[in-house]
Chains A and B, each alone.
Chain A
Amino acid sequence: MGPVAALAAWSMVMWVWMYATRIPAMQKQKIDAKGLVGTTGRTLDDALPAEVQWKAHNYNHLMEQPTVFYAVALALAIGGQGDGLNTQLAWAYVALRVVHSLVQATINRVMLRFAIFAVASLALVALCINAFMAFVIV
């Protein structure tokens, strides 16, 4: 449960970072949100500097694969499998996702970001296999 809470909290940090950079950038571009109808955050990809949108890209990313992590971690925890190796794998996943966020929000070199994502995904694969063994094979 610890890593679940930590990654959820980190997502909210990225949410704050996203708005703390997006709102000043919108003001600078003289975009008045009061006059906007039906646009989405993605619309800003063409309007704001890329580094500003990188924070949003990462926030969206945190709403993707980590949802599988939450499901698997909760299943393992309530299924009595939330100990030892599974806890270490979960913390490794969370730590790698935090590093991934920092890279994507700042330097955002694609190969580096990809490498971190790939290693994080391997930790999640291991957790998924453990959940599969615990609940499907039994």
Chain B
Amino acid sequence: MIDYSLLAPGAVLALWTLVMLLWLAGTRFPAMAKSGMDVKTAQPGGRGQDLEQVLPASVNWKSHNYTHLLEQPTLFYAVIIFLTLAGGVTQTTLGLAWAYTGLRVVHSVYQATINQVMVRFSIFVLSTICLLALNVMAVIATLG
């Protein structure tokens, strides 16, 4: 019987990513309306990153974080699935995976609101250390 408990922090982080998508939309659309932009008459092919110099920075911060959540966490999903399939679910990997998810949620809230680079960087480094440890354990578990 496979132990699925290591998938839980992944499920939470995936859902959190979509919460950030809603936060992004909930701030971007009012900001676009306020700046007098009308998407209906926009040039074909416009993208979110075209709003970079147009909308207030704090509006775009939500979008920066949503994009960020589609970068490194994709490694995290792969690693926890490797560990689950290779029998690598232990108290240690569970603790590290929940720590990673928790730190990434804090990182999101921070980047979307205060966004001081050094603090954001520190949270990111801590979460990356968790991922690095998980990744090493996944290598050990899969090489078996």
Interface residues in chain A, defined as those with a beta carbon under 8 Å from any beta carbon in chain B: 50-51, 53-54, 57, 63-65, 67-68, 70-72, 74-75, 78-79, 107-111, 114, 121, 124-125, 128-129, 131-132, 134-136, 138
With A129-B15, A131-B14, A132-B12 as given contacts, are A78 and B84 in contact (CB-CB < 8 Å)? yes
In the assembled complex, the CB of B106 is this many whole angstroms from the nearest CB of chain A, namely: 18
Contact B77 A71 (CB under 8 A): yes
- List CB contacts (< 8 Å) of B37-87 with chain A: 39-40, 42, 44-47, 67, 70, 73-74, 77-78, 81, 84-85
User: When A134-B11, A136-B12 are in contact, do A78 and B81 touch as well, CB less than 8 Å?
Assistant: yes
Count B interface residues, CB 8 Å. 29
B4 touches A79 (CB 8 A): yes
Check A64 against B46 for contact (C-beta < 8 Å).
no
The smallest C-beta distance from B68 to any residue of chain A, in angstroms, reads: 11
Shortest Cβ gap from B37 to chain A (Å): 10
The verdict on B133 contacting chain A, using a C-beta distance below 8 Å, is no
Please report which residues of chain B, range 1-19, place their CB below 8 angstroms from some CB of chain A when the two chains form the complex. 2, 4-5, 7-8, 10-12, 14-15, 17-18
Complex contacts, A132 vs chain B, CB 8 Å? 11-12, 15
Q: Is the pair B11, A72 in contact by a Cβ cutoff of 8 Å?
A: yes
Q: By the criterion CB–CB under 8 Å, are B39 and A114 in contact?
A: yes
Given A64-B67, A131-B7, A109 contacting B44 (CB threshold 8 A) = yes
User: Once the chains bind, are A70 and B39 in contact (CB under 8 Å)?
Assistant: no
Within the assembled complex, what's the spacing in Å between the Cα atoms of A97 and B20?
A: 20
Pick from B5, B11, B21, B70: contact of A131, CB below 8 A. B11
